Structure 1
Amino acid sequence: MKITLTPQDDVSCGWFHLSKPRKPKPSHEGTSAARWVVVGAGFTGLAAARQLAVHYPNDEIILIEAQVVGYGASGRNAGFAIDLPHDIGAEDYIGDIEIAKKTLKLNTMGQTIIKDLTRQYSIDCQLRESGKYQGAVEPRGIAVLDAYRRGLDKLGQNYEMIEEADLPGHLGTTFYKKAIFSPGTVLLQPSALVKGLADSLPDNVTLYENTLITDVEYGQKIVLSHQSGKIIADKLVLANNAFGMGFGFLKGRMLPVFTYGSLTRVLSEEEQSRLAGKSFWGLTPADPFGSTIRRTADNRIFVRNSFSFNRDGKSHEKYLQRFVRRHRESYERRFPMLSGVEFDYTWGGSLSLSRNHMGHFGELRPNVYGALCCNGLGVTRGTVTGTLLADWLAGQRNEMIDFLLKSNGPNANPPEPFLSIGVNATLMWSQFRAGKES
């Protein structure tokens, strides 16, 4: 079958350009065969390939990346490795307590894997166990924080509720009216992490970059073709999120939604003193369509907001031009003391979402497996599901694997044109309704 849904990201990702340069691995040429082939060298695919190599040290594992490592979706997110569950459909944002406990355990496992690997291989990705703020400006957002506090109490988690008068000492801005600080989140530079994970893979993993699969044939063997050759797999692992639909799976069940980020230039020492507050922090909005804000380790301000539904999975310049203006407005509202500080970079990055916020874990068809649809939690969820999928393929079972296998997976979307009309209308209305939170 012909694969038509393929990644094509913009060239302006700040995380990618500011992280340590690396020499990409060669693209694949000719014909190769392997027992295990993994498609997608983001958080999920890197974790799956690494763990398969541990379980099968005598097998070659082939890992295929359509672009270069750190350039795609995993290198474009906000860099939050979050431990706490957040069920936006529940009144207290925690929901079923048993599911919440397992989700917390799953996310914490993902964090632990990342922290262990960064220490073991000395990966410099600005990783800080700094916690995160969830901030609110308007009454509706403050109500969200109060509801979430009740949920965290039910879950037995530590947090600190910070009132308006005290927030400037944390964030350096008087913009926010209230925030919850939760200590368990890890902040990092995502592209630097992905690059470091790729360059520390076990010796029996062969990584091919800039290798875009254009055709796939399923049968007793799986044949993956590209413009310069083909790769024959006994077993195929898909770790490419919404692009898994291009391989014929979960069609009409995942949504390739893009979100957008900007990074300022480095703040001068004088500007840093004007901002005050902590020198490194991250904040997510009470309203999911509000702005995520970070002050980075290299003294830049990161702003992320705005969404678009890109059915083809590709970046589009028109959205970058439109949303950089929104980033500027969001920045100026929060940091009037640093008005006019230029953005060095603005970029888009894809999320794989489902309408019921569920992902797929396990078999897709005989000899084809996947950990797909991270629903915006790629750092932790991609890492842990990729690892556990490899464990399951090696015959292991445990509480977390069983929890993932029991998932109903992404539910079906409405047919076109109703899907695009509905998603675009929802995104526009939700971003408008976010108000000052945006």
Structure 2
Amino acid sequence: MLSLLDIRSRIEAGQLTPAGAVDLCRAAIAARDPGIGALASLHAEAAVPEAGPLAGIAVGVKDIIDTADMPTQMGSPIYAGWQPKADAAVVARLRRLGAVILAKTTTSPFASADPTQTRNPHDPGRTPGGSSAGSAAAVGAGLLPLALGTQTAGSVIRPASFCGCAAIKPSFRLLPTVGVKTFSWALDTLGLFAAGTQDLAHALALLANRPEIEGVTVAAPRIGLVLQDFAGEAEPEARVALETARRAAERAGARVDDLALPEPMPEAWARQRVIQDYEAAQALGWEYATHRAALSEQLGQHLDGAQAIPAAEYDAARRAAHHARRALKGLFSDYDALLTFSAPGHAPQGLASTGDPRFNRLWTLMGVPCVNVPVPGGPLPVGVQVIARFGDDGRALAVARLIEDALARG
């Protein structure tokens, strides 16, 4: 993979120019993307700024995020060729930092559960996950050092696990979603994919204009290991990865305790779908009313069912989420971070499904920062998820780095 920090270090040392760094990505895309299909469009003539803290960093942007110089097609024929007049707020910020918006990455239609034709870079017979399929695949394949995605249930952390890259779903609304197609306004969160946790911390600190995110360190963190039994069973490879990460954290000085989540949280997990679906029916109301036949089969059927969700059921789900957030806040008085599965196991075979977000739904609903840490050693990528309290993104990244470094030492 291409490390953002390594590229910037080489540029600052005079070993590489910003244009040369972007050319490395262009060459990688030309060589590898035809077999992966991670990119929805490529800006062949993108200018390369010479200055800025992200000068020389080529970025992929999920194709539900507006770009003024490339189409935003939402993964749907309804928006084929649609050209926004303005950048999304996060894209505008990247440009001000000197980054090059080199490509739009593939997405499930409207960031739904439908699969794309993008292939997993580690096994082309498997899915890269979704809905941020192209962003995860592009970083995991070494095409780009940084990519943007979004998560409503598990669309950042799960594909990162499947594609073997680091990723963060930050605290809710840490990054602005202005100019991003809405699926669920109470859940949608912008996220980042990169080669490692230090790359993520650097990029997020710059994007959020919060330098303190990058400066957090932890020496002997208290970690609660959570199995989320209410969400179903994990596959053997995911259980092995979680135990491997636990032992690595303990070797690095962490105290790791088995932790059962309190009762409001399983109920909130079960109701996440109600919030997501009720809001999707409204957010995609125009597309459903005027272009129902052009919607993908799975999304169309999903929205058919969502029309019948009563407002009272939605309100009850929001109350359940509120109670669960209060309970989770209490847990973090005893723990610096939680450790759990990023995905049920390896990426599923075939392209018919993007996998199951069951180990991500709760944390997206809670609005807390989540980081995927790849666990090396298996035949296919699998990661673990580090979670911290709301607003403590720097701590989530610091604990994730501690585990990442310990895993690298073996």
Higher strand share: 1
Higher helix share: 2
Task: Give the TM-score taking structure 1 as reference length.
Answer: 0.27
Task: Give the TM-score taking structure 2 as reference length.
Answer: 0.29
Higher RCO (Cα < 8 Å, 6 or more apart): 1
Larger radius of gyration: 1
